[in-house]
């Protein structure tokens, strides 16, 4: 191999300070990397750049995101996957796997002991403070017994290669470990975009591991439950790994729920579905321990389920991992792990750990205080960056403050040696460069042990000399290969055994929260589309009447401006106080109506609301939907709300938006099943469209004008309604109020007419499950039925009659206003009946203490 | 002495409550010197579910839920308690308990005997007694000296809290931090108990929170009114070679028969008499009435 001379490696050898995965200390290439390196060289820099682009594109297309807190661009940041994988040979992996199994077994026994007999403390193996002073030790979970084969069902560990060439354990993750979904998606993306790199290399596939994972969830079910209802509990779209929550939900086929979808009654946990309460047996949670039960744990939590701890005690529900397992995320345990291992297994700990000194012991504390600059100091129960002190970088004052803190509560602190982790090649600007890496591994409980995922998730430090590897700062990830000398099975997309699957099979079981978001997605989308068309009609009228900004607008434009303020509920606007000034520069107001996301009622704001409810439905997305959705976002990101765009520029933006919205709506209809809740989306969409049809008619055709103006208004209505062509086709005549009312309001065949929309809502509401306990019709059905009756019984001649002043079509106005009210009531009634959020969770006594 | 005791808590909800889960820590403890002759918890409306269990600190807690719409919740804990403090070990009769000094006590606390391990958790920070400030420690150090017996020093600490702090029920609420209480020197029994605990922990002695009741006597010649007694709280210190000793800094006395013990915890947070999660959209009004009087059979 001519690696040294290859341009890819030009920078690899210079300034090389660390232990490297590829280069051995004698500067020879590690043979295990040979095949991958030659595949990289064969591809060459140009090909690698284009493959990397392909991966970036795939991640973007598939909506793989990672949210970073406190970062304005952080929400839904794209996930970065490197073209260069990380690899470990099977031979070494076997040893690591053995060590990981031992560690998982050990932590499992510690967990049982901490909440059980506490022999480790009683026998002096672990000082009591390491457990009792850890905020993850939850006294409420004391003595809870579980039916599962292990207490600890999932264990994730962060590994890095230490200076001795072995893999060291850096952290344990035991509450709700993340990374599995990202690891899986990384593998899919590599297979798709960089299949050449696999040439001649046997990479172990995680298929069996995911079977075990699913089986673990099923086995966790309470006794005698053969076909358990399993749900995935998320804290919501703002969580940093929300993508993964949704991804695992669609991958495993279990519903994604939030805390307020679940409720404790009669000693069991229930999911609020449209039809009724449905019992839940297993909860795979992505919510941290203390947020799980506001009754017994953090009172101010809205992410959990009040009373669930008692259901767990009664063994009527299982939580994966059990609540209280956070006590194992404990750097204070590290110095004692060897002794614990001897105590339980009478053997040595297989995987080394970072040398650590627990400050609760006098000798150790004195040593740490004396040599503090050499160490990284952490709190035993905090692993976030804010609580880690890299003492070499601290000034005198900060060091003294830290020392004081240690002395005040020494048992809270651990000091760790800082070590140089190994580096691996990373593809940067056409060249390979060494970067520090960290591997996250996963273990899953089985009946007789633990199953280890072959590989896992590898994360890369952002800069060459960076010490810290973390996604919180937006790092890069790598696919993690375990390479074998023997042939491996090809990795297929998962085809589960059908007996495994426990899908939400019909609309009765739809979680009410999902239903609510679908309903609102429909409403927001409907509003976005109607508002876009309305604004476009207005801008087109300005253009065709050759109106120049600043002129006194002609009568027809004035009415349209006023109608827009009314329909979008954006008073004062063109109607209220200060309208004279607004009318002097209508374009400014129209710009704000389109682009100002802070203006309630604007198109930008509606799209923003849609955005939010849409993200919470992420597990229902198809890739095509994401693509179109992303297209809308990118289009809008190009526009700056502080600029004033011309009429033509706004029309162009609206044209593109409308096309994309329609494409998106079409995709929703074909990607989501009626049983998955599409019905709710339709009801929301039609309700919104019908309401806005009413609002438009009331603003534009209820008042009677002279012939010319009336013609303008009819044309405005029809064009904002996209109905000019249909009108011409149906009536082949000059526009008349009578025909327009017949088409837009009374036609029962035309899908954009009010009559049609109302009958569609009636039909769809009729298909909703009747909640248990209600007989006859639901209230929302009765309301929408009444609306349908009113419009069916109306008579065109009566509707067209003018009042005595001959200015207003009074009967038309009365009917429209009545229908508007009924629609509003229907919507409220749907919320009351199906969404069940009318009552808030509160504390009986305010217990909002300054919690640590 | 046999007491009959009733503790009534009522909540009126403006908009009503559809559903609630609650936890009550109201049942007096049973131990040498305090025997529970009868205990009854009346709840209205009638709970759909109710269960009792022992918590981490050995207190009896009752969990209940009401699944019907209600506008008022009433919880009445009634008990009959036989109190005879003379049955419990008496510190005054324990030479080693009376004389053990701070230095000696700290040495004893280094042991890993099961008893010492058990009490040492009361040395650690707890939710309401955390980040104990220097002025609290300084306050404690005025009474505690390495060679001074800790019983004597704790008695003095109790007296000082009693004299230095003003009883004022408008000055604090359950969430007032101890630092603030220390600065303003005002508060209620719960604050004084927690100040005492913070002082003791700051110098390395295990201390716990005791929640219970105290019988109040009417002025001479007057009849006792119903419901004038109150929930009470004080602290308890662990004296090695003897055991836990209670001190009531609100009244400057070592509890005897007038004190009924309901629960132990690290601080108030572990043992609120009643807490819960309700589903409602409005405000609520709470009323508490406690009555303790010698039982008449």
More confident residue, B107 or A511: B107
Confidence band (pLDDT; 50, 70, 90) for A387? confident
| Contacts with A729 (C-beta within 8 Å, 6 or more apart), sequence order | none
Q: Torsions phi, psi of A687, nearest 5? A: -60, -45
Q: B118 and B150 in one domain?
A: yes
Instruction: Report the CATH number that the domain containing residue B70 is assigned in CATH.
Output: 2.60.40.2250
* Residue A319: predicted pLDDT: 97
Least-confidence region, from A27-41, A500-514, A599-613, A740-754: A500-514
Selected for mutation to probe chain A from B173, B194, B277 (highest A CB count within 10 Å) is B277
Q: How far apart are CA A823 and CA A736, in angstroms?
A: 27
Comparing CB atoms, the residue among A122, A139, A140 nearest residue B117 is A122
DSSP string, A764-790: HHHHSPPPTT--S--HHHHHHHHHHHH
DSSP SS3 for B267:
coil
User: Cβ of A166 under 8 Å from any chain B Cβ?
Assistant: no
Question: How distant, in Å, are the alpha carbons of A39, A460, A766, B79, B291 from that of B226?
Answer: 89, 71, 59, 15, 6
User: B94, B100, B82: which is closest to B257 by C-alpha?
Assistant: B82
User: A806, A506, A534, A843: which is closest to A675 by C-alpha?
Assistant: A506
Mean pLDDT in residue range B140-163: 97
Q: How far apart are CA A553 and CA A545, in angstroms?
A: 10
- Which H or E run includes B157? helix B150-164
Q: B142 and B30 in one domain?
A: no
* Residue A72: predicted pLDDT: 45
Average pLDDT, chain B: 93
| Contacts with A483 (C-beta within 8 Å, 6 or more apart), sequence order | A32, A35, A36, A87, A88, A89, A90, A201, A202, A203, A204
Strands A282-285 and A230-233: parallel
Query: How many cross-chain Cβ pairs, A to B, lie less than 8 Å apart?
Result: 110
User: Cβ of A362 under 8 Å from any chain B Cβ?
Assistant: no
Confidence band (pLDDT; 50, 70, 90) for A384? low
- Give, as one character, the DSSP assignment of residue A745: I
In angstroms, the separation between the Cα of residue A404 and the nearest Cα of chain B is 11
Burial A792-814 (b: 16+ CB within 10 A, else e): eebeeeebeeeeeeeeebbbbbe
Could you identify the residue written with the tokens 């269990």?
B53
Could you identify the residue written with the tokens 């929309």?
A757
* Residue A838: predicted pLDDT: 47
Confidence band (pLDDT; 50, 70, 90) for A490? low
How big is the CA angle at B144 (ends B141 and B148), to the nearest 5 degrees? 150
Q: Torsions phi, psi of A797, nearest 5? A: -65, -45
* Residue A505: predicted pLDDT: 57
Selected for mutation to probe chain A from B17, B21, B129 (highest A CB count within 10 Å) is B21
Q: How far apart are CA A618 and CA A251, in angstroms?
A: 12
- Enumerate residues 40 to 79 of chain B having a beta carbon within 8 A of any beta carbon in chain A: 48-49, 51, 53, 55-57, 63, 65, 67
Q: Read off the tokens for A438.
A: 């960290």
Please write the tens of the pLDDT for every residue from B187-240.
999 999 999 999 999 999 999 999 999 988 888 888 777 766 778 999 999 999
User: Cβ of A267 under 8 Å from any chain B Cβ?
Assistant: yes
Beta bridge partners of A432: A427
Confidence band (pLDDT; 50, 70, 90) for A757? very high
Q: How far apart are CA A203 and CA A441, in angstroms?
A: 16
- Give, as one character, the DSSP assignment of residue A833: I
- Which H or E run includes B11? strand B2-17
Q: Would you say residue A470 has pLDDT above 70? A: no
**A597 φψ region: left (φ > 0), alpha (ψ -120 to 50), beta (else):** alpha
User: A521, A559, A520, A519: which is closest to A538 by C-alpha?
Assistant: A559
Mean pLDDT in residue range A260-271: 91
- Which H or E run includes B42? strand B34-44
Q: How far apart are CA A611 and CA A630, in angstroms?
A: 10
Please write the tens of the pLDDT for every residue from A634-693.
898 888 888 899 999 999 999 999 999 999 999 988 888 877 788 999 999 999 999 999
In angstroms, the separation between the Cα of residue A235 and the nearest Cα of chain B is 19
Confidence band (pLDDT; 50, 70, 90) for A73? very low
Give the range of the structural domain holding residue B56, as residue numbers without chain letter. 2-83+272-294
Least-confidence region, from A386-395, A444-453, A459-468, B106-115: A459-468
Cβ neighbours, 10 Å, residue A15: 11
Cβ neighbours, 10 Å, residue B212: 22
Q: Would you say residue B297 has pLDDT above 70? A: no
A122 neighbors B117 (Cβ within 8 angstroms):
yes
Mean pLDDT in residue range A760-776: 87
Q: B72 and B8 in one domain?
A: yes
Q: Would you say residue A1 has pLDDT above 50? A: no
Sequence-separated contacts (24+) of A846-850 with Cβ below 8 Å: A846/B174, A846/B175, A847/A299, A847/A300, A847/B174, A847/B269, A847/B272, A847/B275, A848/A299, A848/A300, A848/B175, A849/B127, A849/B128, A849/B174, A849/B175, A849/B269, A850/B175, A850/B177
Beta bridge partners of A786: none
How big is the CA angle at A808 (ends A805 and A810), to the nearest 5 degrees? 105
Selected for mutation to probe chain B from A145, A845, A848 (highest B CB count within 10 Å) is A845
* Residue A852: predicted pLDDT: 38
- Give, as one character, the DSSP assignment of residue A76: T
% of chain B surpassing 90 pLDDT: 79
Q: Torsions phi, psi of A604, nearest 5? A: -60, -40
Q: B254 and B288 in one domain?
A: no
User: Cβ of A849 under 8 Å from any chain B Cβ?
Assistant: yes
Mean pLDDT in residue range A200-221: 93
Q: Torsions phi, psi of A787, nearest 5? A: -60, -45
Confidence band (pLDDT; 50, 70, 90) for A70? very low
Please write the tens of the pLDDT for every residue from A497-542.
333 344 445 777 788 888 888 999 999 999 999 999 999 999 999 9
Instruction: Report the CATH number that the domain containing residue B168 is assigned in CATH.
Output: 3.10.620.30
Q: How far apart are CA A394 and CA A759, in angstroms?
A: 70
Q: Read off the tokens for A775.
A: 């007989």
In angstroms, the separation between the Cα of residue A115 and the nearest Cα of chain B is 10
Q: Would you say residue A840 has pLDDT above 80? A: no
Q: Would you say residue A709 has pLDDT above 50? A: yes
How big is the CA angle at A24 (ends A19 and A25), to the nearest 5 degrees? 70
User: A255, A625, A495, A230: which is closest to A246 by C-alpha?
Assistant: A255
Please write the tens of the pLDDT for every residue from A125-136.
999 999 999 999
Question: How distant, in Å, are the alpha carbons of A42, A650, B139 from that of B192?
Answer: 77, 68, 13
* Residue A27: predicted pLDDT: 74
| Contacts with A848 (C-beta within 8 Å, 6 or more apart), sequence order | A299, A300, B175
* Residue A467: predicted pLDDT: 52
Q: How far apart are CA A273 and CA A513, in angstroms?
A: 8
- Which H or E run includes B247? strand B243-247
* Residue A385: predicted pLDDT: 63
Selected for mutation to probe chain B from A412, A841, A844 (highest B CB count within 10 Å) is A844
DSSP string, A126-176: S-HHHHHTSTT--GGGTT----SS-S--EEEEEEEE-TTSSEEEEEEE-SS
* Residue A835: predicted pLDDT: 81
* Residue A68: predicted pLDDT: 58
Q: How far apart are CA A658 and CA A666, in angstroms?
A: 12
* Residue A369: predicted pLDDT: 95
| Contacts with A429 (C-beta within 8 Å, 6 or more apart), sequence order | none
How is chain B split among helix, strand and coil, in percent rounded to 5?
A: 25, 40, 35
* Residue B136: predicted pLDDT: 96
Question: How distant, in Å, are the alpha carbons of A232, A626, A638 from that of A633?
Answer: 28, 10, 9
Helix/strand number for chain A, H first, E second: 26, 23
Q: B144 and B14 in one domain?
A: no
Please write the tens of the pLDDT for every residue from A2-48.
455 567 777 676 666 678 888 877 778 889 999 999 999 999 999 99
Q: B200 and B63 in one domain?
A: no
Average pLDDT, chain A: 88
Number of independent structural domains in chain B: 2
> Is the pTM above the cut of 0.90?
no
A457 neighbors A439 (Cβ within 8 angstroms):
yes
A586 neighbors A573 (Cβ within 8 angstroms):
no
Question: Hey, which bits of A356-509 come out as E strands?
Answer: 356-358, 375-379, 388-390, 413-417, 423-428, 431-446, 449-452, 457-460, 476-484
Could you identify the residue written with the tokens 């701070």?
B102
User: What residues in A contact B269, CB-CB < 8 Å?
Assistant: 847, 849
A101 neighbors A667 (Cβ within 8 angstroms):
no
- Give, as one character, the DSSP assignment of residue A491: -
User: Cβ of B125 under 8 Å from any chain A Cβ?
Assistant: yes
% of chain A surpassing 70 pLDDT: 92
Length of chain A: 852
Please write the tens of the pLDDT for every residue from B240-278.
999 999 999 999 999 999 999 999 999 999 999 999 998
Beta bridge partners of A425: A434
* Residue A637: predicted pLDDT: 86
Residue B56 and residue A142: Cβ atoms within 8 Å? yes
Beta bridge partners of A459: A438, A477
Query: Domain residues of chain A, as ranges?
Result: 66-354+419-481, 510-672, 689-839
* Residue A492: predicted pLDDT: 55
Q: Read off the tokens for A52.
A: 């990397």
Q: Torsions phi, psi of B88, nearest 5? A: -80, 155
Q: B169 and B59 in one domain?
A: no
């Amino acid at each position: 191999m001519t690696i040294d001379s290859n341009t890819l490696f030009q920078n690899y050898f210079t300034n090389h300070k660390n232990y490297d995965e590829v280069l051995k200390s004698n500067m020879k290439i590690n043979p295990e990397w040979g095949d991958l390196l030659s595949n990289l060289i064969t591809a060459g820099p140009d090909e690698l750049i284009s493959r990397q682009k392909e991966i970036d594109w795939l991640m973007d297309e598939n909506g793989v995101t990672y949210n970073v807190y406190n970062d304005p661009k952080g929400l839904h940041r794209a996930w970065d996957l490197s073209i260069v994988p990380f690899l470990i040979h099977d031979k070494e992996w076997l040893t690591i796997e053995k060590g990981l199994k031992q560690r998982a077994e050990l932590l499992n026994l510690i967990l049982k002991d901490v909440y059980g007999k506490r022999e480790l403390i009683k026998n002096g193996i672990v000082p009591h403070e390491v457990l009792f002073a850890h905020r993850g030790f939850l006294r409420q979970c004391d003595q809870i017994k579980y039916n599962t084969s292990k207490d600890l069902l999932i264990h994730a560990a962060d590994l890095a290669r230490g200076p001795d060439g072995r893999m060291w354990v850096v952290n344990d993750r035991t509450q709700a470990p993340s990374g599995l979904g990202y690891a899986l998606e990384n593998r899919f993306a590599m297979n798709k975009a960089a299949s050449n790199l696999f040439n001649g290399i046997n990479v172990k596939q995680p298929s069996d591991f995911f079977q075990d994972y699913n089986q673990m969830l099923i086995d966790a079910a309470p006794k005698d439950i053969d076909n358990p209802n399993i749900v995935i509990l998320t804290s919501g779209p703002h969580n940093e790994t929300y993508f993964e929550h949704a991804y695992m939900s669609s991958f495993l086929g279990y519903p994604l729920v939030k805390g307020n979808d679940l409720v404790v009654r009669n000693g069991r946990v229930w999911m609020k579905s449209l039809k009724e309460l449905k019992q839940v047996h297993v909860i795979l949670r992505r919510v941290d321990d203390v947020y799980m039960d506001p009754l017994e744990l953090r009172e101010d939590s809205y992410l959990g389920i009040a009373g669930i701890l008692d259901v767990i005690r009664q063994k009527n529900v299982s939580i994966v991992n059990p609540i209280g397992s956070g006590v194992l995320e404990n750097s204070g345990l590290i110095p004692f792990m060897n002794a614990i291992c001897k105590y339980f297994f009478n053997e040595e700990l297989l995987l080394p750990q970072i040398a650590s000194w627990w400050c609760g012991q006098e000798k150790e504390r004195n040593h740490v205080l004396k040599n503090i600059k050499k160490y990284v100091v952490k709190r035993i129960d905090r692993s976030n960056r804010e609580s880690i002190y890299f003492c070499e970088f601290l000034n005198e004052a900060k060091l003294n403050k830290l020392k004081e803190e240690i002395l005040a509560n020494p048992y809270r602190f651990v000091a760790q040696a800082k070590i140089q982790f190994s580096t691996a090649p990373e593809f940067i600007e056409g060249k390979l460069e060494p970067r520090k890496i960290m591997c996250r591994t996963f273990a899953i409980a089985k009946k007789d042990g633990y199953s280890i995922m072959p590989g896992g998730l590898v994360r890369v430090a952002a800069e060459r000399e960076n010490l810290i590897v973390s996604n919180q700062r937006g790092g890069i990830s790598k696919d993690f290969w375990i390479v074998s000398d023997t042939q491996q099975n090809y990795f297929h997309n998962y085809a589960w055994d059908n007996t495994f699957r426990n899908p939400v099979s019909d609309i009765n079981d739809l979680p009410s929260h999902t239903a609510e978001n679908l309903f609102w997605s429909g409403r927001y989308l409907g509003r976005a589309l109607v508002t876009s068309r309305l604004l476009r009609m207005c801008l087109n009228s300005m253009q065709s009447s050759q109106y120049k900004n600043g002129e006194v607008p002609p009568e027809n434009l004035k009415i349209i401006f006023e109608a827009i303020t009314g329909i979008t509920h954006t008073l004062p606007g063109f109607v209220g106080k200060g309208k004279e000034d607004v009318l002097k520069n209508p374009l400014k107001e129209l710009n704000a109506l389109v682009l100002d996301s802070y203006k309630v009622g604007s198109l930008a704001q509606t799209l923003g609301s849609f955005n939010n409810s849409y993200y919470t439905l992420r597990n229902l997305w198809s890739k095509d939907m994401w693509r179109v959705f992303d297209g809308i976002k990118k289009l809008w990101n190009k526009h700056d709300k502080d600029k004033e765009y011309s009429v033509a520029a706004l029309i162009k933006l609206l044209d593109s938006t409308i096309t994309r919205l329609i494409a998106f709506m079409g995709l929703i209809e074909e990607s989501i099943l009626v049983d998955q809740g599409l019905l709710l989306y339709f009801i929301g969409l039609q309700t919104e469209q019908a309401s806005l049809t009413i609002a438009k008619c009331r603003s534009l055709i209820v008042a009677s004008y002279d012939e010319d103006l009336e013609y303008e208004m009819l044309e405005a209505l029809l064009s904002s309604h996209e109905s000019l062509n249909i009108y011409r086709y149906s009536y082949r005549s000059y526009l008349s109020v009578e025909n327009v009312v017949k088409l837009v309001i009374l036609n029962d065949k035309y899908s954009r007419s009010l009559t049609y929309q109302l009958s569609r809502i009636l039909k769809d509401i009729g298909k909703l499950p009747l909640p248990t306990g209600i007989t006859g019709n639901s209230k929302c059905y009765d309301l929408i039925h009444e609306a349908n009756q009113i419009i069916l019984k109306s008579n065109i001649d009566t509707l067209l009659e003018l009042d005595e002043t001959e200015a207003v079509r009074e009967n038309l106005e009365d009917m429209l206003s009545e229908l508007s009210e009924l629609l509003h009531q229907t919507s409220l009634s749907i919320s009351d009946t199906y969404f069940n959020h009318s009552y808030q969770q509160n504390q009986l006594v305010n217990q909002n203490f300054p919690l640590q | 002495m046999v007491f009959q005791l009733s503790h009534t808590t009522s909540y009126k909800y403006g908009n009503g409550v559809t559903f609630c889960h609650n936890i009550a820590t109201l049942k007096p403890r049973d131990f040498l010197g305090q025997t529970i002759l009868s205990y009854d918890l009346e709840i209205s409306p009638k709970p759909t579910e109710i269960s009792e269990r022992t918590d981490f600190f050995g207190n009896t807690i009752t969990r209940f839920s009401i699944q019907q719409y209600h506008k008022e919740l009433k919880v009445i804990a009634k008990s009959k308690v036989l109190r005879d403090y003379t049955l419990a070990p008496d510190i005054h009769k324990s030479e080693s308990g009376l004389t053990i000094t701070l230095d000696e006590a700290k040495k004893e606390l280094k042991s890993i005997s099961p008893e010492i391990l058990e009490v040492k958790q009361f040395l650690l920070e707890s939710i309401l007694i955390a980040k104990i400030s220097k002025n609290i420690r300084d306050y404690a150090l005025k009474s505690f000296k390495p060679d001074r017996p800790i019983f004597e020093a704790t008695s003095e600490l109790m007296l000082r809290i009693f004299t230095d702090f003003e009883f004022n029920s408008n000055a604090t609420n359950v969430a007032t931090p101890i630092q603030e209480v220390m600065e303003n020197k005002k508060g209620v029994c719960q604050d004084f108990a927690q100040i005492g605990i913070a002082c003791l922990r700051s110098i390395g002695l295990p201390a716990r929170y005791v929640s219970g009741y105290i019988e109040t006597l009417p002025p001479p010649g007057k009849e006792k009114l119903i419901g004038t007694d109150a929930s009470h709280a004080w602290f308890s210190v662990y004296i090695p070679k003897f055991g836990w000793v209670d001190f009531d800094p609100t009244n400057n006395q070592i509890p005897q028969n007038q004190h009924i013990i309901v629960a132990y915890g690290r601080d108030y947070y572990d043992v609120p008499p009643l807490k819960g999660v309700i589903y409602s959209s409005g405000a609520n009004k709470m009323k508490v009435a406690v009555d303790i009087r010698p039982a008449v059979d």
